[in-house]
Amino acid sequence: MLRQIGAVTMINLRSIPQRWGMSLATVLSVALVVGVLLGFLAMANGFRATVDGTGSDDVAVVIGANSQTELNSGLGRDAVRLIEAGPGIAVDASGDPIISAELYVIANGRKRSSDTDANLPLRGVGENAPSLRNGFSLTEGRMFASGSNELVVGEGVLREFSGFEMGETIRLGSNEWRVVGIFSTGGSVFDSEIWADLGVIQNLYQRTGTVQSVRARLTSPEALAELQAYVENEPRLEADVSSERQFFASTAGGTSNIILFLGWPLAIIMAVGALAGAWNAMYASVDARTREIATLRAIGFAGFPAFVGTMTESLLLASIGGLIGAGITYLVFDGVSASTLGGGFTQIVFSFAVTPAAIVSGVVLALVVGAAGGFFPAIRAARVSILKAQG
């Protein structure tokens, strides 16, 4: 039996070149379906990786009560002082709590891809800000000098927006700013931001004395509950505390969901189209070999090997298509930089990521198309009557 299966399968595969038109169409259409699906998955994964990579468990983010995002939060000087005095916050070598009060405003940047303006987050920070971002490093230049019109720019901003190269001068409103450094936080959301001195930003945006968020280094991830309890029980403080991981998870789920909810249905609808193609190709293949199969039956081959032979051919064609689609998507899309509006109403720069899991999904989809497309033609091949050998 096994030898029969092997023989029929080899006959099928060797005869593919005779039907190259239909076979090629099947391979290419499956490749396109897989390519579209992987393209969307790469976009969603890249976006999610950027957002997920941002959250840290041992950094607490404090924003005004019921604000949901930094953009519309407001905390006064007194609030900052009260948070500073809270429990569970780590201290530096000189005994000061490691916290950073920050103001987050929106500025315009010019996108390289479309040459149009897009919202960029401009963050006013103090000297502790870098130590509160895991993986922060200056890749070029230096930090801004306190009180000056100097900026440091995230790598993502540099990649997607023009005019932020080292030493460039940028006009925001009536002020001129100079880029003195480029920083990286290893692909997190902060790479899409521009940082400047808190006091200068407060003045420029007429927000003297108020900040939007306070970040604090916790002594351990468990200390979060302690700080939360403290803030809740402090009547002078109306604020919400969460870990940075929770904070980003709650603000940025929407965009990657939209990408996913568009990608999968599209891939499935297109897969139906490709399925019809595969099905046709396999019917054609069985039709073309009706006499051949009947002859095999006449000389003693059973129906089952004919079934397996046709299924194998279909699965092989589909998996070749799947691999071609995955390969092309990987070569074209992996690492491509893009940006879109994120939860904070500002641009988040991210890179497309074609992950192994996505490739597996793509190949599985291809195999499903191959299996479904080959099944009925294979049954038909198994049932070919011996009499057909004469026709």
Partner 1 sequence: MNDATLIRKSLFRKKTRAILLVLSIMTAFLIFAVLGAFSRSLNSGVETAAADRLVTLNAINFTLTMPYAYWGRVAQVDGVQAVTHASWFGGYYQEPRNFIQAFSVDMESYLQVYSELEPVEGELATLFERRDCAAIGADLLSQYGWTQGQRIPLNSNIWRKEDGSQVWDLELCVVFDAQDQDVPTNYILLNYDYYNEALAFNRDQIGWLILTTGDPSINDRVSQEIDALFANSPAETETSTEAAFGQAFLEQLGNIGLILTLVIGAAFATILMIVGTTMVMAINERTKEVAVMKTLGFAPPRIFVHVLSESVLLSLVGGLIGLGLAAILLAGVGAMLAGQLPGLRMTWVIAGQAIALMIAFGLVTGLMPAINAMRINIVDGLGKE
Site residues (CB under 8 A) for partner 1? 21-22, 24-26, 28-29, 32-33, 35-36, 39, 66-69, 71-72, 74, 105-108, 111, 113-114, 116-119, 172-174, 205-206, 266, 269-270, 272-274, 276-277, 279-281, 283-284, 338-341, 345, 347
Q: Which is nearer to partner 1, 135 or 273 (CB)?
A: 273
Q: Which is nearer to partner 1, 24 or 138 (CB)?
A: 24
Give burial (CB, 10 Å; 0-12/13-18/19+) of 314. Answer: buried
Write down the least CB distance from residue 188 to partner 1, Å. 19
Calpha distance 175→371 (Å, rounded): 64
* DSSP symbol at 129: T
Write down the least CB distance from residue 268 to partner 1, Å. 10
Write down the least CB distance from residue 183 to partner 1, Å. 22
Q: Which is nearer to partner 1, 58 or 193 (CB)?
A: 193
Q: Which is nearer to partner 1, 11 or 284 (CB)?
A: 284
Compute φ and ψ for 104, nearest 5 degrees: -120, 115
Write down the least CB distance from residue 347 to partner 1, Å. 7
Q: Which is nearer to partner 1, 25 or 302 (CB)?
A: 25
Write down the least CB distance from residue 138 to partner 1, Å. 26
| Residue 52 structure tokens | 């997920």
CB 117 within 8 A of CB 128: no
Residue type, 335: G
Helices (H), the chain: 2-14, 20-52, 77-84, 155-160, 198-204, 223-233, 244-251, 253-288, 290-298, 303-333, 356-382
Write down the least CB distance from residue 318 to partner 1, Å. 13
Q: Which is nearer to partner 1, 68 or 134 (CB)?
A: 68
Q: Which is nearer to partner 1, 154 or 377 (CB)?
A: 377
Beta bridge partners of 150: 178
Q: Which is nearer to partner 1, 225 or 276 (CB)?
A: 276
State the angle between helix axes of 303-333 and 290-298 in degrees (0 to 180), rounded to the nearest 10: 140
> Whose CA is closest to 353, among 90, 44, 100, 16?
44
Compute φ and ψ for 53, nearest 5 degrees: -65, -10
Compute φ and ψ for 6, nearest 5 degrees: -60, -45
Write down the least CB distance from residue 101 to partner 1, Å. 18
Write down the least CB distance from residue 186 to partner 1, Å. 23
CB 37 within 8 A of CB 43: no
